[in-house]
Amino acid sequence: MSLSDIMFSESTMPAVKLTVNGKTVSADVEARTLLVDLLRQNLGLTGTHVGCDTAQCGACTVLLDGKSLKACNVLALQAEGAKLTTIEGLAKADGELHPMQAAFREHHGLQCGFCTPGMVLSAVELAGKYANPTDEQIRHELEGNLCRCTGYHNIVKAVKAGLANMRT
């Protein structure tokens, strides 16, 4: 059955099955359900924020199969079978923060915290792209994540420290 068949069928409520933060989950969703809504409303993972609904701010950024993705711009059904990581899935089960989360806290890379989950997840993806990124490369990679509170100086500092800690 194609996505268009599902979208126009009123009698079915398709199920989407994927791995979220290491756990297999399944949910019945309307064909038009956005991934961000699946996470927040169906799975209760509210760390993925809804900011602009137009993929401009990055507050809804998650990692889909290791790549950063704006969850407000993707249908939940498009994530079928994928491995998804949200901000809730970065810390260890015992509560120990991921090195990037710890770096954001230590280097004051956040203020109100609204953009922070998306920033952190985008920064985690950087570990696979650069061995030792410059400030300019970090700023370029974070362009799709908007922070209205900071001048990005501490965010860049936090990302550099987080990347260094991820390598150790």
- For each of the domains in the chain, give its residue range(s) and CATH number, in order of start: 3-89 (3.10.20.30), 99-167 (1.10.150.120)
What is the model's pLDDT at position 100?
97
Q: Could you read off the pLDDT of 101-132 as tens digits, one per residue?
A: 999 999 999 888 899 999 999 999 998 898 89
Strands 15-20 and 83-85: parallel
Whether residue 159 has pLDDT greater than 80 = yes
Whether residue 1 has pLDDT greater than 80 = no
CB 118 within 8 A of CB 59: yes
What is the model's pLDDT at position 33?
96
**Cα–chain center distance at 144:** 12
- How far apart CA 66 and CA 87 sit, in angstroms, is 13
Mean pLDDT along residues 31-35:
96
Q: What is the pTM of this model?
A: 0.88
CB 82 within 8 A of CB 38: no
What is the model's pLDDT at position 10?
54
Whether residue 38 has pLDDT greater than 90 = yes
pLDDT band at 82 (very low <50, low <70, confident <90, very high): very high
Whether residue 49 has pLDDT greater than 60 = yes
What is the model's pLDDT at position 79?
97
- How far apart CA 56 and CA 20 sit, in angstroms, is 24
